[in-house]
Each structure stands twice: as structure tokens, then as C-alpha cells.
Structure 1
Amino acid sequence: MALTKFTLTCAILASMTSFLSGLHYNDLSSETADFFMKSDEISRRKMENLFYFLIIFHSIASLTAGTLSDLIGRKYSLILSMIFFFLGSLVTSCLALNYVVFVTGCLLFAIGISFVQAVTPVYITELSPDSTRGFLTTFPEVFWSIGYLFDNIFARFTSKKLFTWRLQLGLGTIPSFLLALAMLLTLPESPGWLVTRGELSEATRVLKKTSVSEEEAELRLGDIKLTAESKQSGWVGSWKKLLLHPSPSIRRALIAVVGLNFFRNSTGIDAVNEYCSRLLAMAGVKNGEDILGVTSAVRLIQICIILTAGFLMDKIGRRPLLLASVAGMILFLAGLGLGLTIAYQSHKRIWAVDLSVAMAFLCIAFFSTGLGPVTWVYSSEAFPLRLRAQGASMGAAVNLVTRGLTSLAFLELYGFITVGGTFLLFAGMASVAWLFFYKLLSETHGKSLHEKEIRSCTYGVGTSAGAVLSKRDGHVAISKRFYGHEISSFDRKLLKRSASFPVSFRPSSSLKNYFTSNTTQF
């Protein structure tokens, strides 16, 4: 795996923002909310209102993060997220003397989480070489899981009243400050963002530090410069281009990313995680420390699976892992639903409880092989540079809103169709997700980020395919001769898609005439 130490360090440092997200997202779960209500007499109605308000706020903050990262840069957007975490930790742990102040602190947390979800994968994607982009962009999922695990362990001490919930919410105060300082001193700005701002010398310096050779750095710079030229010629990364007048390829990418983020959480993975402790108790594991030990071990195994999936993602692709992952989830969610249905009908059938525990843990494992990490990767690489921040923020908004609504819906469905029926419903949702991914998600493995820009160009968003192909031709690492001119294998495939090009571009004698009559473009 061709990877420089500097690139790895930057990816880890940027992904540590997800550690704080996982650390604090769990603090607003129903379990922790129950503890808050017992401690400071915050009513359940107020906590439910807060949850709904946070869901709305997550969507607004995520969409804002995409536009802001285009204005001030990816690096300073990440630093800004740490400032929100610092202020949220400070307000909720030290200044929350009433409900209004407590809500203010929670909203600061929500902004920080939304910024991390929208900006972190985009930053890592733009900083990483194509050969390791999938592996490095799975790091946010890894660190989110680590933060979630750490918070669960700390919550166990809190439940024993060795500490207060204020200290639990204040855990991120010092780490967020130190992380913001470390990112300010260490992280470079995204090369793509630098080129769009005309800072070519700084972009070149960053690319040389993140590439394994100067030749690779030059190739990446050439690709980014071409996309930057397209952006300056009217390809403005705006919501109007993304939502109102998208090209066919952009529309397909938007549908794919929104659907991927929706199905990531609507298939019930958070419900499975939350129900594991109760399943273990039903199976006879009564001691709280034993339950924590088992769930912690499962979480550690999950982290190892995510890292392995990230490595395989750059070898076999995103799509095979995603389809295999969701197929496994369908099977094990159905098994979990059937096991719980049998277990609740007859409490003497211990084998059904044991089956449910196994199904739950296998479901988590299969989620970690594809649907979990692929969501971060695909959302940040499906769009060209001019729309990447907005597209990723759209996916982040759908992700966070769906996660919140699914958690709330699980509590309601639990009483209407039983817990077993709820997980069977999640299995049905996973089946729909598999069909959606099979039909609409194209493979992004083996394609440079610049090829997303080429693909959107070819569908007529503002420049001719011939002009883009001729510009790209001088920047490809592997190319072949075609009618006497250098052209990449990817571009040759594009030229064969006759329906996507004007008549003069179709593979025939006219194509040969086009190349021979436009030699000055090459």
C-alpha cells in the first residue's frame, strides 16, 4: 500500500474529530436522557422535544457545513467543529443551571457533530492518493466507534455515581481544545480547495508531501487544475446546480448518496446496538460489568472489521463489499426478529434467546464490512470537486436525521408490532436497500476523483466532452494511442458510449476526422 507517513498522520488527526462525535452523540440517547431526568428532574416531555429539535438542527447545520467549507476551507471548518465541541462541553458541564442553557449546549454539540459528519470525509478524500482513498476515508467510522465505546465505558462509572453526568458531558472539553490546536499547527489545507483559490505553490507543496513520488504529485495537480478551471468557467458549486439543474450524472450521484445515507440507519443498526445489552440480560448475563465486557469486546472486533473492510475497499471495490454487507444484514435481521418473536412467546425457549444474541452480533459484523464504512467513502467521492462539499453535506444531513428518527421510531414500533416484528421490518427495509444499491450505486473504485468531473462534463453541464478529453489527455498516468493521439483507457470507454455524445463524437470515421482535424487541442 503506497502511503506516506504524513498522509496517514493527517488522516488520523482529522478522523479524531469523529472520536468526539461518537463520544457525545451517545450522550443524547434515550438511556443517557433517562439518567439526566433522574439526576436533575428534566421531564421526559422536555427531553423528547429536545430530540426532535436536535434532529431539525442537525439537518440545518450539516447543509451549512458544506457551503462554509467551500468558503473558509476544509481545515478551518474542522477546527471550527472542535470549537463547537469545546463550547458545548463547557456549557453542558459547567453552565447548565437550567433547561434553556442545557439545550444551548446540546445545540452546540449538534453543530459540531454535523460539521464533522459533512467535512471530515471530504477532507480525507481530497488529501488521499487514489490508491488509498478508500482505506483512509474509513478512519472516521473507526474513530466514531472508538468514541462510542469509550463513552459507554465511562457511562458505567457514571451509573455507579462515582462521577456526575456533568463530568460525562464535559469529557470532550480538553480533547477538543488540544485537537483544534494540533490541527491548526499540523494539518495542511485540502489541495483541491487551495487550487480553486489560486494557491498553486501551497497546493504543490501539500501534494508532494502526500504523494509517494513527484510524478504522482504532478499528475494529481494536473487533474485538480483542470477541475478548478472548469469551476472558474461557470461550474459553480452551488445548491442550484445540485438540486435544481443537475446533469444526469450529478442527479444519479445525488440519489445514490441520499439513498445510501438513508438506508444506513433506517435498516436499524442503532436499534441492534441499543438492544444488545437487553439480549445479553435475557440470555443470563445479569452482571452489568459482564455485559459491558461482552459489548466492549464486540465493539473492538467491529473496529478491526472496519479496518479490514477499508483495506479491501481499495482492492476489490466499494460495491461488492456493500452488496455482501447488506445481504448478510437481511439474513441476520430476519433471524433476530424470528428469534425474539419465539423468545417472547415462550420464555422457556432459551435457545431462541441465544440465537437472537448471535444474530445481533453477526448483523453488527456484516454492517461493519460494508454499509458502515462505505457510506463515508462513497458520500465524499461520488461528486466532482465543484459539488463535493454540498453533496457530502446533503448526505450527512440525511444520515443524522434518519439516525435520530429511526431511534425514536424504534421505541414506538416496539409497542405496536413487538420487538421481533420491528426487527423483521428492518430486514424488509434492508431488502429494499439491497435492490436500491444494486440498481443505482455505480463503482467508484479505480477511478480518480477527477474522472467524476469528466463524467459530469460529458453530459453537458457547461463544457464540451472533446475539450475536457483533450485537456485530461496530458495528465493521465496510463494512456494508449488512439488515431495518433494519447488518450486514457477511461476516456476511450467514454467515447464508445455513443448516446452520451453528439453525432460527431460517435465511434466512426467522423471520430477519426474529429481527432485529425483538432490536433491543436492535443
Structure 2
Amino acid sequence: MVEEASKSEQINFTEVWTTTWETPYIMRLALSAGIGGLLFGYNTGVIAGALLYIKEEFGEVDNKTWLQEIIVSMTVAGAIVGAAIGGWYNDKFGRRMSVLIADVLFLLGALVMVIAHAPWVIILGRLLVGFGVGMASMTSPLYISEMSPARIRGALVSTNGLLITGGQFLSYLINLAFVHTPGTWRWMLGVSAIPAIIQFCLMLTLPESPRWLYRNDRKAESRDILERIYPAEMVEAEIAALKESVRAETADEDIIGHTFSDKLRGALSNPVVRHGLAAGITVQVAQQFVGINTVMYYSPTILQFAGYASNKTAMALALITSGLNAVGSVVSMMFVDRYGRRKLMIISMFGIITCLVILAAVFNEASNHAPKIDKRDSRNFAKNATCPAFAPFTASRSPPSNWNCMKCLQYDCGFCSNGAQEYAPGACIVQSADMKALCHSKGRTFFKDGCPSKFGYLAIVFLGLYIIVYAPGMGTVPWIVNSEIYPLRYRGLAGGIAAVSNWMSNLVVSETFLTLTNAVGSSGTFLLFAGSSAVGLFFIWLLVPETKGLQFEEVEKLLEGGFRPSLLRPTTMENQVETP
């Protein structure tokens, strides 16, 4: 194992291209399955822009924060169910069939949202899409992993991560493209049907995973696929490794049984699976509690919090963060098989914590320096236009000093900025479509989610930096780790458990973000994420081993006795693979 680890240090990113150039079939498999990642990214990212226009069409959505959170998070709720069922379905019917079922769910969900006449229909469509996202989130990287040679497996699985972030970037482009088109959000949500149809057709022409086929006594088919993936001199060694792994697992199955409950009990009684789950669940939960999906689901809203009132401007700026996420995934592909999974995640977490703390400080300063309220402007803006909470102060000599734009918005009112100078005192008025139109007719800007701020550009800068440090590490590596850390016999089941933990964490974050910002402000919310990120960093250091360049069987041996970081490792364990 030590020898294998030293060899992996010599892996160069060009080897990926050399291997796939010599065997283009490998890249065809990876990209076809990776469309599931594209759909995953698109359907989770598109709501960030679509929500702005759904609020405009349905007043009840605009007025109810909890309804906005449900529309956003319902895909996540569906993904929990999809990931849970996906683990069993992968083991029972295979990886290829799971991808096909996910595509059907993507298509149905898109069609339901396009014809939605009420918020509950949008929620139903988001739920169906979520079922597909959950299955794709674990099946696509699993299929790619089992189709890839070990030395480039990490980079090829990263193509799934790249396509996830690419799908999110595409969703922002599509959002901008349909801003001035009748039906805006319907087009935004409906476009996802196209890649679902494309992937369905492609997967019909591709084979099942050779590992799954071998495990199900379809050895001739498995050999045929391996011969198309590996050089001739390596095929026999790969088949021998599969044979030994399946033999051991078959013996194990005879003891633990065949039903789901028996498998679950057997998995939890197996020390390799338990240690693998400790690592796999840790990285999946940590990935969500750094707050990434508040940025991906609500980035235009966050930028409106920072003072960019226009929907189009907020979406255009959000496109920058999404593009950086896609670039970061490319960086991950370049370094994950050279520098390792564990190291990339730890470096990534340090950068994330730093950016979150700075973002908390930026939003705190923006809140403290928000424009003051002009008493006369608020009183004389229009008949019955003054914010009800501020109205009593208009008759006093001067309003309380703590009344500024942020205070106005906290009472669900709107702020019409000063016409001459945006950062000067403005009017605190009733929040309604009529008042917004009247404010605009006076050549002024209407704010209802955030306030004019000289610090707004800093929010863009550090959101961008946050994405840059997140994407190459915590963005793609958790999925790579979970595709290679479990024994074959339990890979579908354990991968499903870890994926469910990811989506449950995602649900908690996405369902509470707007509520948190209302309760403790944007600054307090980012500070909470910084704290949860620090906890995640500790457990990654404590529980997650390095798996770069290792065969699946070698990963099992690494986990048999439980992983310990080098700082806590007894001297008798020095012969193990060195992990920082």
C-alpha cells in the first residue's frame, strides 16, 4: 500500500487525457453519465433566478417567506427520498437503469412546472425533479467510478462535479436569457427537459457497470466491458481482483442475509462499512453546513441583501459566482489525483471559514451604515404611503436614531432611495407594487430585500473568493470519497445513506436560510455557517482517510482497523499510508 501511495504522487493531469485519448470510450461513458450531474446542477441552481419572477406572478409567494423556502427546498426534500430509494435500486436493478429512471423523473417534473397555475403545482414539480436529483446525485458518480481505471478515477468522477457546477452556471445563463420573455420562470424551469431526453437516449446505448454485472453472475458481459476500458495486459488482473472481492462478499452475504434490513444490519456490523460511513457522512454533512447552497439557491437574493435591487443586475452578478464554481471544479480535476482528497478538503475548509467570517463583517458594516430615514420624505411621499411602523415618528421632532433603511425593511416596508444620492436619507414607505412603481416613476430605486450600500462590492468579491476556495475541495471531493470508500457489496446501500445525509443537511440549510436572515440578519447567518464549518473541519481531520490512487480493495484494508490522523496514530501504525 505504501508503494501504491508513492506511485500515485507521480500522477499527472495529462495522464487523464492520454488515457481517454487512447480509449475514448471511457470519456464517452463519463460524459454521458455526467449529464445526470448537469441536471442535478441545473435544477438546483435555476430556482435562484426563477424565484424572483415567481414572486412577481404570485403575490402570496412574495408575502410569505416560508412559501419561498418550500419552493426552493422541495427539490431537496424529494432528493432525500430519491437518494434513499436510489441506493436500493442501484443494487437491485443496476446503475444504468437508475440513471434512466432519474431522467424520466426530470422530464415529468419539468413538464408539471411549465403548466403550473398555482404555487402548489410548482411545489409538486419541484418534488418530482427532486426525486430525480436524489437518484442522480449518487448514481452518476458511482457509475463513472466503476467504469474508470483506478489511476484516473478521481479525475473522471470529478467530471460529474464539473457538470453539476456547469449545470448551475447554465441555469443562470438561461435565467438571464428569459428575463424579458413572456412566461419567464416557466421557460427557466422547463428547459431542464432537454438534457434529460438527451441523456435517456445516450444511456440506452451504454452498458451496465462491469462490477455490478460481475456481482450478478454476468461475467462474460463484465469481461467484455473491461476489455473496452483497460489495456489487454491489465484485464486479467482486474477480473482477478473482482473475483476475489465478490467471493468474499458472497460468503458474507450467506451469513447476513438478502433483505434490505438484513443488509443494513450487516453493513452496520461490518467495521469497514462503519468506518467508511463515518468518513462519508462527515464529508457530506460538512459540504452542506458550510452554507454553499444558500449561495447557489439564493445568490440573487443575497446580492439584493447587499444593495443590488434590480432582479436582472442581481442575476448577472450571481452568474459570476456560478462561473467561478465551474472553474473550481476544473481545478479539482487537475489536482485531486495528485495532491489527494483529504488535503484538498482541509485547505478548502480553512479558506471557507475565512471568507465566511469576512462576509459576516461586510454585512454587519453594511447594516450599520445603511441610509437614514428622511421623515419629511416618508410623510409626503404619497397619500397613505408611509410605513405604518414609522408613521408615529413622522409627527415627532426627529425620528429615533436607530431608524435606517434596515430597520424599515425589518417591518416589511420598502425603502425608496434618495433621488440625488442613493446613500443619502430616503423614504420608508408601504411595500406594494403601486409604491414600487411610484418610486421608479420618480427616478429612484425601490429596495425591499436589502439597502443601498457602499460595501456591496465587497460582498461580491468575498462571495467569489468563497466559491473559489469551496469548489476544488468541498465542492467535488465529498462525492469522490463516497464513490470509492465502501466495499462493493455495500456500495449502493452505504452511498445512499451518505447521499441522504447530504440532502437532509441541504434541506435544513435551504429551508431555514431566509428565516435565519430575518431573525439574526445576514451577518449573523454567515457567522453561524463559519462556526459549523469549523466543526466540520475538525471531523474531516479526525475521520477521513486519504484514498488517492488506491484500488477499492486497498481502501477496504485501510479502513479495517479504523482511520486515525498521523497526530493521533501510535508508532506501531507507521507502516500505514502516511496521511497528514
Instruction: State the TM-score, normalizing by the size of structure 1.
Output: 0.80
The aligned counterpart of 1:207 is: 226
Query: Does structure 1 retain, via aligned residues, the 8 Å contact 2:37–2:136?
Result: yes
Does residue 106 of structure 2 align to residue 85 of structure 1? yes
The aligned counterpart of 2:567 is: none
Query: Does structure 2 retain, via aligned residues, the 8 Å contact 1:92–1:101?
Result: yes
Aligned pair in 2 of structure 1 residues 243, 269: CA closer, same or farther (>3 Å)?
Answer: farther
Q: Distance in 2 between matches of 1:165 and 1:104?
A: 15
1:198-229 Cα shifts (integer Å, max 9, x gaps): 11111111112112x11222222211121111
Q: Distance in 2 between matches of 1:189 and 1:453?
A: 24
Query: Does structure 2 retain, via aligned residues, the 8 Å contact 1:91–1:105?
Result: yes
Does residue 175 of structure 2 align to residue 72 of structure 1? no
The aligned counterpart of 2:393 is: none
- Corresponding residue SS for 1:138: helix
Query: Does structure 2 retain, via aligned residues, the 8 Å contact 1:93–1:166?
Result: yes
Q: Residue 36 of structure 1: CA displacement?
A: 2.7
- Give the one of 333, 350, 353 matched to 1:327: 350
The aligned counterpart of 1:402 is: 505
Query: Does structure 2 retain, via aligned residues, the 8 Å contact 1:265–1:402?
Result: yes
- Give the one of 230, 236, 254 matched to 1:218: 236
- Corresponding residue SS for 1:233: helix
- Give the one of 25, 39, 55 matched to 2:44: 25
Query: Does structure 1 retain, via aligned residues, the 8 Å contact 2:46–2:168?
Result: no
Q: Residue 8 of structure 1: CA displacement?
A: 1.1
- Corresponding residue SS for 1:86: helix
Does residue 247 of structure 2 align to residue 229 of structure 1? yes
Q: Distance in 2 between matches of 1:125 and 1:406?
A: 29
How do 1:289-308 residues align onto structure 2 when only pairs under 5 Å count? 291-308=314-331
Aligned pair in 2 of structure 1 residues 279, 64: CA closer, same or farther (>3 Å)?
Answer: closer
Does residue 287 of structure 2 align to residue 269 of structure 1? no
1:403-462 Cα shifts (integer Å, max 9, x gaps): 222022221111222211111111111111111110100111121112234456x569xx
How do 1:360-375 residues align onto structure 2 when only pairs under 5 Å count? 360-375=463-478
Q: Distance in 2 between matches of 1:78 and 1:226?
A: 28
Does residue 494 of structure 2 align to residue 391 of structure 1? yes
The aligned counterpart of 1:438 is: 541
Q: Distance in 1 between matches of 2:309 and 2:55?
A: 24
Q: Distance in 1 between matches of 2:573 and 2:182?
A: 66
2:129 aligned partner, one-letter code: F
Q: Distance in 2 between matches of 1:334 and 1:369?
A: 20
Q: Distance in 1 between matches of 2:508 and 2:316?
A: 29
Between the aligned residues of both structures, percent identity stands at 25
Query: Does structure 2 retain, via aligned residues, the 8 Å contact 1:323–1:434?
Result: yes
Q: Distance in 2 between matches of 1:343 and 1:208?
A: 61
Query: Does structure 2 retain, via aligned residues, the 8 Å contact 1:264–1:372?
Result: yes
Q: Distance in 2 between matches of 1:273 and 1:99?
A: 21
Q: Distance in 2 between matches of 1:147 and 1:288?
A: 21
Query: Does structure 2 retain, via aligned residues, the 8 Å contact 1:280–1:291?
Result: yes
Q: Distance in 1 between matches of 2:290 and 2:519?
A: 18
Q: Distance in 1 between matches of 2:532 and 2:120?
A: 37
Aligned pair in 2 of structure 1 residues 22, 239: CA closer, same or farther (>3 Å)?
Answer: farther
Q: Distance in 1 between matches of 2:124 and 2:295?
A: 30
1:437 aligned partner, one-letter code: I
Aligned pair in 2 of structure 1 residues 439, 220: CA closer, same or farther (>3 Å)?
Answer: same
Aligned length: 460
The aligned counterpart of 1:59 is: 80
Q: Residue 375 of structure 1: CA displacement?
A: 1.2
The aligned counterpart of 1:173 is: 193
Q: Residue 359 of structure 1: CA displacement?
A: 1.9
Q: Distance in 1 between matches of 2:296 and 2:189?
A: 21
Q: Residue 54 of structure 1: CA displacement?
A: 5.1
Q: Residue 280 of structure 1: CA displacement?
A: 5.5
1:415 aligned partner, one-letter code: N
Q: Distance in 2 between matches of 1:406 and 1:83?
A: 28
Query: Does structure 2 retain, via aligned residues, the 8 Å contact 1:21–1:116?
Result: yes
Does residue 305 of structure 2 align to residue 248 of structure 1? no
Q: Residue 23 of structure 1: CA displacement?
A: 1.7
115-124 vs 352-361, greater mean Cα deviation: 352-361
Query: Does structure 2 retain, via aligned residues, the 8 Å contact 1:224–1:450?
Result: no
2:546 aligned partner, one-letter code: E
Aligned pair in 2 of structure 1 residues 134, 408: CA closer, same or farther (>3 Å)?
Answer: same
Does residue 527 of structure 2 align to residue 424 of structure 1? yes
- Give the one of 121, 132, 145 matched to 1:125: 145
343-352 vs 306-315, greater mean Cα deviation: 343-352
2:101 aligned partner, one-letter code: L
Aligned pair in 2 of structure 1 residues 400, 445: CA closer, same or farther (>3 Å)?
Answer: same
Instruction: State the TM-score, normalizing by the size of structure 2.
Output: 0.73
Query: Does structure 1 retain, via aligned residues, the 8 Å contact 2:306–2:455?
Result: no
Superposed CA RMSD: 3.0
Q: Residue 107 of structure 1: CA displacement?
A: 2.6
Q: Distance in 2 between matches of 1:355 and 1:101?
A: 38
The aligned counterpart of 1:149 is: 169
Query: Does structure 1 retain, via aligned residues, the 8 Å contact 2:41–2:165?
Result: yes
- Give the one of 281, 296, 301 matched to 1:258: 281
Q: Distance in 2 between matches of 1:53 and 1:26?
A: 13
Q: Distance in 2 between matches of 1:320 and 1:351?
A: 37
- Give the one of 338, 357, 360 matched to 2:361: 338
- Corresponding residue SS for 1:198: coil
Q: Residue 26 of structure 1: CA displacement?
A: 3.2
Query: Does structure 1 retain, via aligned residues, the 8 Å contact 2:307–2:453?
Result: no
Q: Residue 193 of structure 1: CA displacement?
A: 0.2
How do 1:306-325 residues align onto structure 2 when only pairs under 5 Å count? 306-325=329-348
Q: Residue 327 of structure 1: CA displacement?
A: 0.7
Query: Does structure 2 retain, via aligned residues, the 8 Å contact 1:276–1:357?
Result: no
1:281-338 Cα shifts (integer Å, max 9, x gaps): 6778676655544433443333222112122111111011010000111111111111
Aligned pair in 2 of structure 1 residues 343, 161: CA closer, same or farther (>3 Å)?
Answer: same
Q: Distance in 1 between matches of 2:106 and 2:252?
A: 36
Aligned pair in 2 of structure 1 residues 273, 57: CA closer, same or farther (>3 Å)?
Answer: closer
- Give the one of 347, 355, 360 matched to 2:458: 355
221-230 vs 354-363, greater mean Cα deviation: 354-363
1:70 aligned partner, one-letter code: D
The aligned counterpart of 1:16 is: 35
Does residue 485 of structure 2 align to residue 382 of structure 1? yes
Q: Distance in 1 between matches of 2:317 and 2:521?
A: 26
Query: Does structure 1 retain, via aligned residues, the 8 Å contact 2:210–2:226?
Result: yes
5+ unaligned residues in a row in structure 2: which ranges? 1-14, 371-422, 424-451, 563-571
Q: Distance in 1 between matches of 2:132 and 2:518?
A: 33
Query: Does structure 1 retain, via aligned residues, the 8 Å contact 2:40–2:133?
Result: yes
Q: Residue 102 of structure 1: CA displacement?
A: 4.4
Q: Distance in 1 between matches of 2:532 and 2:197?
A: 41
More helix by share: 1
- Corresponding residue SS for 1:370: helix
Q: Residue 254 of structure 1: CA displacement?
A: 0.7
